[in-house]
Structure 1
Amino acid sequence: MSPRQTASPTDGTAGTRPALARGAGQHVLIVAHEPDLAELLSTTLEPAGYRISLSATGAEALAGIAKRRFDLVVFDADVPDTGNFDRERRPGLPYRPPVLLLTECTSLDRLVPELGPGERDYVTKPFRVAEVLARIQVLLRGARPGPPRGNPLHLGDLVLDDTVCRARRGTRALDLTPAEYRLLRHLLVNAHRVLSKEQIGRHIWGEHRGDNAIEQLVSRLRRKVDRDAPALIHTRRGFGYWLGRPDIGS
């Protein structure tokens, strides 16, 4: 099935068409080898308010980034020379724009961590146009607070390392999905602070998807993180969720 057939501007709910996130003239480089995918992305992003440049290979993308400053790169993980892109891009680039990676993978440990220490995010294929636009907006507005990426975040024996997109609790590796990883990082950056369901939803997906989606995501993450005592993810009924040691308080 082609990207054109799988992408959808709606959330799949009959009769519901949420407003799509829009840009303000930011320059976006689309790196896509497949012509249909490149056309779909460019004809979606241009009407949404972005200036677009196209590259069909990692080498072309490198040459473009070396010549001009892009606000963001949308990078298809199926570009054939992704390995060369990684090896060649590290030295000499004047600026590392944030990267939105389009991938069929569902586990972070397989998602091209070599793209560098700059801001990056992931959308799995087949993707929805609304989610791509929302994740682009989140990256462009720098919605990830906290220490620069590349410095491991930790609380007790819980460690999250952005350089390899992995987390562990003590010696046990946590096998996290992209959404679980984003949630854990958001909770860890805001340790001992209660985050509402709406705050969490807008950070994870760029939109609020309803309480049930948040509850299911938190439940999945809690089963992975809190297999070991003490429990670190807590519920403040009526307010939201917080991460931290209970003896320190919320």
Structure 2
Amino acid sequence: MDARILVVEDDASIRELTERGLRNAGFEVLTAATGDEGLARFRADRPDAVVLDVMLPGMDGLEVCKAIRGASAVPVVMLTARSDTLDVVVGLESGADDYVTKPFEMAELVARVRASLRRASGGDRSDDVLKVGDVRIDVAAHTVARGQERIELTPTEFRLLAELARHAGNVLSREQLLELVWGYDYLGDSRLVDATIQRLRAKIEAQPSHPHLIETVRGVGYRAARR
């Protein structure tokens, strides 16, 4: 795999280890030590994926992620020293596709980067239009709307909604969603699913605290409403 990965990390030892590990896995690697430098390198070099630390001097990782997402759908994997669900939600709201908690195993980061690249290159499945309740999902156009109102979703939120819509009326476990949406069959953290569901509900539900489009089936997973 010759994809180009940008690593933005201010800790020199972590940055060097991450660069070496990704190079050994067959990637071309670019590095930056600050948020401003990382954003400048992203704009100049157009990497295929970004590994981005949350805590950076100057412009922090969340700001960098928002700026990247405003211009590109390139996969972004956040590095964070914290793993509370709130931190996951904030990262996903900034446009991140995934996160890895420090300290991490290099094999896990490599696997997640590879999965993010597969998702980005695989394209959406062929369904033309899907529905969840009164929400219309145009897969080919990659748009979501309620009536004439467009609903802006991140790429990950779009994939999650589309998978739930394809299985409307059926319960999908968190493990199934991790495999279908993120491409993981064992690496994923179920909080990633829960946090993305939370963000998705905030955008498509009339009352996110009392959802009727995406139902939680306690102890099992999630189910989308039929048309």
User: TM-score under structure 2 normalisation?
Assistant: 0.58
Q: What RMSD over aligned residues (CA atoms) do the two structures have, in Å?
A: 4.7
Q: Which residue of 1 aligns with 2:38?
A: 61
The answer to whether the aligner puts 1:232 opposite 2:215 as a matched pair is yes
- Note the alpha carbon deviations across 1:113-152, whole angstroms, 9 max, x for none: 44xx5x632222232323322221222122685769x977
Task: Tell me, yes or no, if structure 1 residue 35 matches structure 2 residue 12.
Answer: yes
Quickly say closer, same or farther: Cα 1:127–1:205, change in 2 above 3 A: farther
Counterpart contact for 1:62–1:89, Cα < 8 Å:
no
Q: What residue number does 1:178 align with? A: none
In 2: Cα distance, 1:30 partner to 1:161 partner? 27
Residue 27 of structure 1 and its aligned partner are, at CA, apart by 0.4
**Identity rate of aligned residues, in percent?**
25
Contact 1:234 1:241 in 2 (8 A): yes
Counting matched residue pairs gives: 186
Whole-angstrom CA distance in 1 between matches of 2:165 and 2:113: 21
- TM-score, scaled to structure 1: 0.54
Q: Tell me, what secondary structure is at the counterpart of 1:102?
A: strand
| Aligned with residue 184 of structure 2, among 201, 204, 207 | 207
**Paired AA for residue 34 in structure 2:** T
* Farther-moved stretch of structure 1 (74-83 vs 103-112): 103-112
Does the 8 Å CA contact 1:59/1:85 hold for their aligned counterparts? no
- Structure with more helix by fraction: 2
Larger radius of gyration: 1
**Which residues in structure 2 correspond to 1:1-250 (within 5 Å)?**
24-83=1-60, 86=63, 90=67, 95=72, 97-103=74-80, 104-106=82-84, 107=86, 108-111=88-91, 113-114=93-94, 117=95, 120-142=97-119, 145=124, 162=153, 185=161, 188-192=164-168, 199-203=176-180, 206-209=183-186, 232-233=215-216, 243-245=223-225, 248=226
Equivalence for 1:175 = none
Structure 1 gap ranges (5+): 1-23, 155-159, 166-180
Change (3 A) 1:162 1:125: farther
